[in-house]
């Protein structure tokens, strides 16, 4: 890659709001952090979301930030209005930045308000568009057959919305970033040489910063994720109730936040199930503070009902936590050691597995060799280096 002639421009309109952290935002932040060591980086982000960037990365002279005004109307009701609102601002910024054919432009999501402006702007600015396609919405039929319990009609709309935008992405996109090789099936074979499977990463340096601190075990089980139907916490609370019948003093810690209405629903469900005393809601926790909590736990649980990666599981394994996870086909090749896998739709069987693990007084951590192997594989420096090498092959591909 010729670092003197190229820039990496991140269009971060879809970044998580301050006080939250989605997987796509995490990938974008760490890409900026480590890629800026090799190539100048420009970040375009709404002013309201700027703290999400600055609270998680130290800006330097290799990273230039430009802010946009946020869209003030209801984006769900006016998706095209939002897309054209940002198109107007991006058109002006791209002209000021003199975006050219040598520049990489990476959109951090496949939302319409990022994809449509890129589709239009490529007519004037022949940049290299790198698209993000991090999680494909399951088909409505799959939602029913596999009992994901996602709101049915909402996910019909989400499916149509995403697949419609995907046509724009395949038409004008130059490079495609996914989070698991299993998602290559959604692309025509002619696109496959231009696809990079990121898989995410882990801040190993943050784990190392706290692993020499003294830590007592406070929690039996740790959950960490965005609070959303996809992440499986709703169903897992039913499993946890069954676990409590056998292990009445067990404690589940929950890191994460989500839509206020859904958070209230989960809290009320815990109360209705009679397990409130066995659940501690920790809210949003990030960076070293998160790994201190991991180290204060015996096990980690990853109950996501539909996923293709799950970086929090990698974080737990790199910390040395034995992980109990839903046995999803897409994750079988990603996580092979240090795991107990179960079909979480069989709640009674999964509860028995967890109760047996919790009832054993012997520690169940990962061996040093397994932890070191996971850390080497998931270290963000290594993950972004592979991405840099992928970008360096642009123009050399058949």
Which tens digit of pLDDT belongs to each residue from 315-340? Answer: 999 999 999 999 999 999 999 999 99
The closest alpha carbon to 9, from 178, 91, 168, 129, belongs to 129
pLDDT tens, 230-259? Answer: 999 999 999 999 999 999 999 999 999 999
Give the CB-side neighbour count of residue 337, counting CA atoms within 13 A. 14
pTM exceeds 0.75 for this model: yes
> Residue 354: CB partners within 8 Å, gap ≥ 6?
221, 239, 243, 299, 301, 324
Furthest-apart CA atoms within the chain: distance in Å: 65
Task: Give the lowest-confidence range in 61-65, 187-191, 241-245, 364-368.
Answer: 364-368
What are the CA-CA distances from residue 323 to residues 107, 268, 351 (Å)?
Answer: 32, 27, 14
Indicate whether 138 pLDDT > 60.
yes
Contact 90, 127 (CB under 8 A): no
Position 395 scores a pLDDT of 54
Query: Rounded to whole angstroms, how far apart are CA atoms 87 and 120?
Result: 8
Q: Which domains are assigned to the chain? A: 8-198 (3.40.50.2000), 204-377 (3.40.50.2000)
pLDDT tens, 2-55? Answer: 445 789 999 999 999 999 999 999 999 999 999 999 999 999 999 999 999 999
pLDDT classification of 192: cutoffs 50, 70, 90: very high
Query: Rounded to whole angstroms, how far apart are CA atoms 128 and 104?
Result: 5
pLDDT tens, 75-125? Answer: 889 999 999 999 999 999 999 999 999 999 999 999 999 999 999 999 899
What are the CA-CA distances from residue 387 to residues 113, 193, 216, 381 (Å)?
Answer: 25, 13, 38, 10
pLDDT classification of 361: cutoffs 50, 70, 90: confident
The closest alpha carbon to 136, from 162, 114, 174, belongs to 162
Query: Rounded to whole angstroms, how far apart are CA atoms 237 and 156?
Result: 26
pLDDT classification of 398: cutoffs 50, 70, 90: very low
pLDDT classification of 150: cutoffs 50, 70, 90: confident
Indicate whether 385 pLDDT > 80.
yes
Position 387 scores a pLDDT of 97
């Amino acid at each position: 890659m010729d670092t003197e002639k190229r820039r990496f421009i991140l269009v971060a309109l879809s970044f998580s709001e301050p006080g939250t952290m989605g997987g796509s935002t995490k990938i974008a932040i760490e890409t900026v952090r480590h890629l800026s060591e090799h190539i100048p980086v420009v970040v375009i982000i709404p002013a309201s979301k700027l703290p999400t960037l600055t609270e998680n990365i130290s800006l330097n002279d290799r990273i230039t930030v430009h802010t946009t005004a946020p869209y003030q109307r209801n984006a769900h009701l006016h998706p095209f209005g939002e897309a054209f609102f940002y198109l107007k601002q991006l058109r002006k910024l791209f002209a000021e930045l003199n975006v050219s054919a040598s520049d990489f432009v990476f959109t951090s999501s496949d939302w319409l308000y990022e994809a449509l402006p890129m589709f239009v702007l490529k007519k004037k600015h022949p940049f290299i568009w790198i698209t993000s396609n991090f999680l494909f919405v399951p088909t409505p039929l799959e939602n029913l057959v596999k009992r994901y319990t996602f709101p049915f009609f909402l996910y019909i709309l989400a499916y149509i919305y995403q697949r419609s935008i995907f046509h724009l992405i395949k038409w004008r996109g130059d490079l495609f970033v996914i989070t698991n090789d299993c998602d290559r099936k959604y692309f025509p074979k002619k696109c496959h040489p231009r696809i990079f499977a990121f898989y995410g990463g882990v801040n190993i340096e943050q784990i190392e910063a706290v692993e020499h601190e003294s830590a007592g075990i406070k929690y039996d089980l740790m959950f960490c994720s965005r609070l959303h139907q996809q992440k499986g916490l709703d169903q897992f609370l039913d499993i946890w109730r069954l676990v409590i019948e056998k292990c009445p003093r067990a404690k589940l810690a929950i890191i994460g936040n989500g839509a206020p209405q859904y958070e209230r629903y989960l809290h009320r469900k815990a109360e209705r199930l009679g397990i409130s005393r066995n659940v501690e809601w920790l809210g949003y926790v990030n960076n070293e503070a998160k790994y201190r909590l991991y180290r204060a736990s015996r096990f980690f649980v990853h109950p996501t009902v539909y996923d293709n990666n799950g970086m929090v599981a990698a974080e737990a394994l790199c910390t040395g936590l034995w992980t109990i996870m839903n046995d999803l086909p897409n994750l079988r090749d990603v996580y092979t050691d240090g795991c107990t896998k179960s079909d979480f739709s069989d709640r009674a069987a999964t509860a028995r597995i967890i109760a047996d693990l919790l009832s054993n007084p012997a520690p169940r951590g990962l061996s040093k060799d397994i932890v070191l192997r996971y850390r080497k594989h998931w270290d963000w420096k290594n993950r972004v280096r592979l991405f840099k090498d992928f970008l360096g092959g642009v123009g050399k591909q058949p």
